[in-house]
Amino acid sequence: MKRLHVHVSVENLAESIRFYSALFASEPTVAKDDYAKWMLEDPRVNFAISKRGHKVGLDHLGVQVESEEELSEMRERLSGAELPMEEQIGTNCCYAKSDKYWTVDPQGIAWESYHTLDSIPTFGESRTEATASASACCAPAPTTITFLSRNK
C-alpha cells in the first residue's frame, strides 16, 4: 500500500513539532535535532519537517511504497508523465537508506517515489552545493534531473 509523503522546511522545529503533534493528535515517530517525522494511518501519510537552513515552506511531495514491485510501478508512472527523472539507488537521506526516483512537476515541485530499506543514524549523504541548496532533503536540483529511458 502506498503512503503520501509531505516534507516541509520549518523555521522553528520545536514550535512546529508542538503544532503538528496537536494537529495529528500524535507525537513524531522520529525526532532528531533537525528533523521530525509522523507515520500516520489516518490520514495515511508520512509527514516530515526539518530545520536545515533552507527555504521555509513546502520542500517536496512524494509517494512512499512498501516493495520493490510498487517502486517499479511508480517508476513506470513517472516515465509515462514524460518528465525528467533521477534515479537514486541505495541512497542515504532523512535518516533512512532508500531506493528513489525523483522528478519535478510542471510547477517546479519536487516529487519523490521511494522504498525505504533501513534506518540510518545520520540525516544523509552530502550532496553537491547546487543540489544541497535546492532542498532541505536529498532532492536533486531541477536542472540535474534528466530523462531516464522508459525501457530500463
In a domain, 152, yes or no: no
- Asked, for residue 23, whether it belongs to a domain, the answer is yes
Instruction: Provide the pLDDT for residue 106.
Output: 79
Q: pLDDT averaged over the chain?
A: 84
Regions of the chain where pLDDT drops below 70: 53, 125-137, 140-152
Closest CA relative to residue 113, chosen from 74, 147, 77: 74
Domain with residue 8: its CATH number is: 3.10.180.10
Q: What is the tally of structural domains in the chain?
A: 1
* Residue 149 included in any domain: no
Q: State how far the Cα of 22 lies from the Cα of 38, in Å rounded to an integer.
A: 12
Domain annotation covers residue 38: yes
Segments forming the whole domain that contains residue 138? 3-144
Determine contact, residues 141/129, Cβ cutoff 8 Å. Answer: no
Per DSSP, helices labelled H in the chain are 13-24, 68-80, 129-134
| Global confidence as pTM | 0.75
In a domain, 151, yes or no: no
Q: What is the pLDDT of residues 33-55, one digit of tens each?
A: 999 999 999 889 999 999 976 78
Residue 110: inside a domain: yes
- The set of residues, in sequence order, having a beta carbon less than 8 Å from that of 104 and lying 6+ positions away, is 83, 84, 110, 111, 142, 145
Does some domain include residue 104? yes
Residue 45 lies in a domain: yes
